Each structure stands twice: as structure tokens, then as C-alpha cells.
Amino acid sequence: MLLNFLAVLPIALAARVVVNWDVGYVMANRDGVRMRRCIGVNGQVPIPPIEMTVDDTLVLNVHNSLDQPTSVHSHGIFQNGTNYMDGPLMVTECGIPPGESFTYEYQITQTGTFWLHGHAQAQNSDGLRAPLIVRDKVKPYEYDDEYTFALEDWYSKEFAERHAEIMDPTKDFPPKPSFPTALINGYSGNAAQPVAFAPGKTYRVRVINMSTTENFQFSIPGHTLNVIEADGIYSLPHAVDILDLTPGQRYSALVTAKNSNEFNYYYNATVYIGLELMVLQVNPRVYLGLVEYKHGAPERVIDDIELSNKDRTPLLPVDRTIDLVVADHLYTSGETLASVNNITYIEPKIPTLLSALSLGDLAHNPVAYGPQTNAIVLNHMEYIEFNIINPTDRDHPMHIHGHVLQIAEYGPTPGPYFSPHNTSFVTPVPPQRKVASPFPIARDTVELSAFTYTKLRLRADNPGVWIMHCHVATVVEAPDVLARTLRMPEEMLQIAAQSSA
């Protein structure tokens, strides 16, 4: 019966979703604290969300009106076969020079909740970020309506100014913390906009942490959040009270409204700072918005390792384990910089993708990419387990481009512990070892808490050059297949030639 019904539906044609972004500086008072220079598009911040349907092609025409190169990354989109459209500066491209234009064009065959952001310097933290919603042709779960909560950390100073203060070796170490405020869908958290709930209806609530460095917790006290999506991957429904999102992460949850409209409720978006600043007594900032139409028991906080993927994809096997130790090093210059296996990433002079395409037989030798790119070369279709070890007192969001990572296991690091901050702090209790369900969730951004390790698996089925950060390594995947199959658009090669001239 159902099959017959589907057979007579007209075939939905995939659309071209054309979006024009003139990226430039905009003056705005976003937090109600200070008018400041932001980065927006078409003279506007926040940047409107982009909404499309699976299999549509995104045509993003970007003109750069800044005085520095820019580039745009779609966080979570695999770019399978279109690696050169991925966006990170000096990994897959040289950036769009000031005054120039470039069109990012690619078909999107994934569904769920994603976001676009600048991937040159820290342009995202000055405002160059927007939600990207890709809807299914047939909803995998039933719901009546949906709301997106795009959460941003916001500072009253530009990133460059804050960074210069943090890195100034003549200033106190560790630097005095600056407190971010939160923006919710572009509005100051203090002016959170109401959402309407109707009795008995079910809503899909999408929450995106678009922040640069801060974590968020999201809840609707009195309502259960039935998680169905983590980073574009559907899960079996999983009931929690609080979502906890590291920068870059997304969740969708189904929320069923109460049967009565006698009371109104609140939604709660709380921005909080990692452990190091907790130690310095920086309190979280709580923002409440009205759920218009109304509390309880112990709270269940999400732990993504407890999610099962909906497709019943089993735990992947392992051909090779790669250990990555993430830490911070205090350099003689007085700067503290992030490292992977004791190497601090430094942008190469030539995008790594161009090196991978031109190195021939040498392309499988990690050394050929320069030691500071922290290149890890994977063979085509190899099953990899990354064993990521964080012996430091800071939480780190680990994000890989071009893939999702199955979360296989996490647990406490055995030590020794490492902290460049000569502060005395209470050693936190790291979580106990926990292994995934037989059908683990995979996601593109994984929180790596202080003093923990996590084991993440993937199959190398997407040839390309993929950055892994915020502690940076470059995954060079199947360069032999890439050299045979990838044809860079002429326009990109011209920009590269122009930039190196």
C-alpha cells in the first residue's frame, strides 16, 4: 500500500540554491553592550540561515569586501569529490583575495543541521557564521513544526584585539579571563526571542553551537528532549533534559508540548567556559527565553557515547591505530600554542591539497608536506582508529572535515598531566571508561574533556585533504586516488597562481 502510494508521487527535482554573500565589515551592537566592527554579509549581521533540501546544489557566490583573504567552510558537509570546495585557508585553498569573488558550488547529499563559517583567521568569531539546514525529502521522524537555536559566543572586542592581549608576553600569565555573552539566533541572550508552543504538538528543536571557544548547555526545563540527530547523523530517540554542546556541535531533539496551555515555560541557553576559567571562578552565564503556553526530578545530561545510530551501522573494525596527544606548549616567545604530538601547526606556503595532487609517489610520505602541517596519510578504504589523548586541564572540541567519526570509547588518561598554566587547581575527576553501544553514533565534532582519551573510528572512503582541529593535524587521505580523480576548477588554480605571484 505504502509502496504504491510512493510510486505515484512526482519525483522532486533537485534545485540549485543560489546565495550571494558580499562578505564585509558591519558596525553593530549585538550584545547590547558595545557597538563594534563585525564581519557580516550584504551589510548585515546575523547572517540569515541557508535552508535547502537533500540533493540540492548550493551555489554560494562570495565576494570579498574585507581587507584580508576570506574563505567559507560548510561544517559537517563531506565534500565527497569536491575537496577543493571545503574552505580552510592553506589546506584546500589560498583564500579569496580582497576585492575578488569566488563561487563555492556543490551538491549536498547529507541531511540535518549544519553551519557555514569563515575559515580564514578567526573571521567566524567576528560574525561570519550562519546555520545551514538540509531537510529530508521524507521526514525520518514525525513532528509538527521546528525551531532552530543558533548559539554564539560574543565578545565586546574584535578577535584580533583579544588575541593580541592574550598573547602579549609582557602581560600576566595566565591572561585575565574575558567573559563572552551569548547570542541566540543573532539576538543578545538578554533579549532572547519567544517561541510559540501549542498544546500536544511535537517540535523538532535544532541547537547549533556556532561559538568559537565556548560551550553551551541548552534545556527547556519541564520538557524532555528526545535526541534524534547529532551532527547530521540520525540516532534512535534518546531522552535527556540537557544538551551540552562543544563548539561546532549540533543536536536535534523532538519536544512534545504539554497538553495544557495554562502556563508558560522557559528555554535555557547557558554559555560556560572550560575548566581553566572555572578554576578562576568564572561563572556560567544563563539566558532564559520564553516558551509561550510550563519543572522536576534529577536531570539527565546528554552523553553522546550512549546514542545509537538509526541505520544500525556496527562498530567499524580497525586496521591501524593512530595516537594523537593534544597539548599546549609555552614557547620562549611567551605564547601558548596548541600542539598535536608536540608539533604546533603552521600554515604551509602552498595549500596541502595542491601538494597532495602534485607530489606523485612522494604524496604518501607525511614528511613531504612539511613537518609543521602534522600530516597523517591514510590509505584508501583503510579502517582507522584515532586514539586522542588529552593530558591537559582544558577541554578541546575535536573536529574533522570530510567525515564523521564513530565514538568507540573514552576514559581517563593515565597521566602524567600537563598544564602550561602555573595555577593551582583542583584536579577534576575525569569520567570513567565507557564504551559505545553496538551501533555507535558517528559525528563530526567530538568533545575531548580535560584529562581524558577518546577512541574515534572512520573508514578512509572520502579521498581528500581534511583538516582536524582545534589542535591541528592534516589528514591526507588516499592521495593516489585523489590525483587520479579530482579535477580542480580552473578558477581556483588561477587564484592560487595569483596569490603566490
Ligand X SMILES: *[C@@H]1O[C@H](CO)[C@@H](O)[C@H](O)[C@H]1NC(C)=O
Residues that bind ligand X (CB under 6 A): 78, 80, 209, 211, 213-217, 219, 221, 242, 244-247, 268, 270-271, 274, 286, 288, 325, 341-342, 397, 403, 461-462
Give me the least distance between CB of 455 and ligand X, in Å please: 17
Quote the CA–CA distance of 81 and 462 in Å, as a whole number: 8
Quote the CA–CA distance of 239 and 179 in Å, as a whole number: 32
Quote the CA–CA distance of 166 and 157 in Å, as a whole number: 13
- DSSP secondary-structure letter at 440? B
Give me the least distance between CB of 206 and ligand X, in Å please: 14
CA nearest to 181, candidates 158, 206, 156: 156
Identity of the residue, 68 or 321, whose beta carbon is nearer to ligand X in the bound complex? 321
Identity of the residue, 115 or 216, whose beta carbon is nearer to ligand X in the bound complex? 216
Identity of the residue, 219 or 474, whose beta carbon is nearer to ligand X in the bound complex? 219
Give me the least distance between CB of 12 and ligand X, in Å please: 21
Give me the least distance between CB of 242 and ligand X, in Å please: 5
C-alpha cell at position 291: 516558551
Give me the least distance between CB of 457 and ligand X, in Å please: 13
DSSP helix/strand/coil, 466: strand
Identity of the residue, 104 or 115, whose beta carbon is nearer to ligand X in the bound complex? 115
Residue number, nearest CB to ligand X: 215
Quote the CA–CA distance of 87 and 351 in Å, as a whole number: 11
Identity of the residue, 70 or 79, whose beta carbon is nearer to ligand X in the bound complex? 79
Give me the least distance between CB of 132 and ligand X, in Å please: 17
Identity of the residue, 167 or 481, whose beta carbon is nearer to ligand X in the bound complex? 481
Query: For residues 294 and 258, is the Cβ–Cβ distance under 8 A?
Result: yes
Identity of the residue, 221 or 348, whose beta carbon is nearer to ligand X in the bound complex? 221
> Is the four-CA dihedral 19, 23, 28, 32 of positive or negative sign?
positive
Pairing of strands 250-256, 265-272: unpaired
- DSSP secondary-structure letter at 302? P
Give me the least distance between CB of 219 and ligand X, in Å please: 6
Query: For residues 383 and 319, is the Cβ–Cβ distance under 8 A?
Result: yes
Q: Which residue shows C-alpha cell 497538553?
A: 259
C-alpha cell at position 222: 519541564
